[in-house]
Every structure is written in C-alpha cells, then in structure tokens.
Amino acid sequence: MSLHDDAVLVLKGYAPEVAHGDQAELRQAYLDHLARHDDGLWKACGAGHLTASALVIDPERGKVLLTLHRKLRMWLQMGGHCEPQDVGLEAAALREATEESGITGLTLLPGGPVRLDRHPIPAPCNWHLDVQYAALAPAGAAERISEESLELRWFGYEDVPGVADASVVHLLEATRSRL
C-alpha cells in the first residue's frame, strides 16, 4: 500500500467527536486535497501537503515535551514532512517524534490521529495539513536535542497555554481526553 493510500484510509477512519469543532470539515478538506493531488503528501505539492506530528507526553508526570522550532521560533510538538521510506502516517509521526526528541521507545497512543490542524507555512510549502498523534514517553525517558530544535523542554499541562499557540493547546486537550 502506498503512503497516499494509507493517508486516505487513516483519514476515512478518523471520526472526530462533535465537540472538536472544525475536525470533520478538516477531515473532508484533507480527503479532497488527496483526491486532487497525487503528490499531496510531498513538500513539492504547491497547494500544500500532509505532514505528521506527535505530541510527546508523559502522563505519569503530567508533562509534555515541546521543541523550540529552529525556523519558526515557536514551541511546538515534534513533527514534519513525510519521507519516501514512511510506510504510513503513523510511521511518519513516530519517526519525526523519535528524531526530534531523541527518545527511543516512544509508542503512539492507540486509536489513530488525535487531531487535525491546517496552518499556513512560508513558501514554497504554503500549507501544512497536519495529522497529529500523541506519543507516550517511556519511564525515565531522556530527551536529546536535534538540529531542528533550538531547545527541548518538558512542560506541565498547565504551563502549555503560556508558551505554545492554540494548536498545541488543542492537541494537548484532545490527547488528555483520550488518556
């Protein structure tokens, strides 16, 4: 199965709850995008492309690991572009979370994506259609900064709204509702 086919199946299986606002509309927009663009998962797609991310969370300590993104200079979850070797969106999200956090042994929260988020990005990317997962950190996880980050830091749930944008806050809320 191709990454494109996997993305369509993942999105068709994503059933957002009514309480999550625009999620049903975004789901349909992502599916429409993939139907129109065979290259809709790749950075070269000028109309935008799907990305995969994961919020690294330690529920036992009530903390999340955020990265101070080198280019955007914002505290964000781990994530990024799909790569040709990714067998699916879950694999892309887990790869990105592992690479950017330096933590081995991450596992994705069962049940598929936690949330969708569409946001503008400077050209040439234009739009990221982000499929967001949550990754559970193993006990005693030790992070290691990557070249994509200026800093990594664990934040208490209550501290996230003070440092991150609304998208990360919504992702944390959606993740906590599934724990």
Q: What is the pLDDT of residues 58-85, one digit of tens each?
A: 999 999 999 999 888 999 999 999 999 9
In terms of C-beta density within 10 A (0-12 exposed, 13-18 middle, 19 or more buried), how is residue 67 classed? buried
- pLDDT value at residue 42: 93
Judge whether 152 and 72 are in contact, CB under 8 Å.
Answer: no
The number of beta carbons lying within 10 Å of the beta carbon of residue 50 is 28
- pLDDT value at residue 118: 94
- Can you give the pTM of this predicted structure? 0.94
User: Could you identify the residue written with the tokens 């936690």?
Assistant: 114
Helix crossing, 89-101 with 3-13: angle to 10°?
Answer: 100
- pLDDT value at residue 29: 95
- pLDDT value at residue 20: 58
State the Cα–Cα distance between residues 131 and 70, nearest whole angstrom: 21
- pLDDT value at residue 65: 98
Judge whether 128 and 152 are in contact, CB under 8 Å.
Answer: no
State the Cα–Cα distance between residues 2 and 54, nearest whole angstrom: 21
Give me the residues paired with residue 80 across strands.
Answer: 52
128 three-class SS: strand
pLDDT digits 0-9 by tens, 96-148 = 999 999 999 999 999 999 999 998 877 777 789 999 999 999 999 999 998 88
139 three-class SS: coil
Tell me the C-alpha to C-alpha distance, in Å, between residue 37 and each of 43, 75, 114, 172: 12, 30, 24, 30
Q: Higher-confidence residue: 124 or 165?
A: 165
How large is the average pLDDT for residues 3-7? Answer: 96
pLDDT digits 0-9 by tens, 9-66 = 999 999 876 555 789 999 999 999 999 999 999 988 888 999 999 999 999 999 999 9
Indicate the residue type of 166.
Answer: A
φ and ψ of 123, to 5 deg: -55, 150
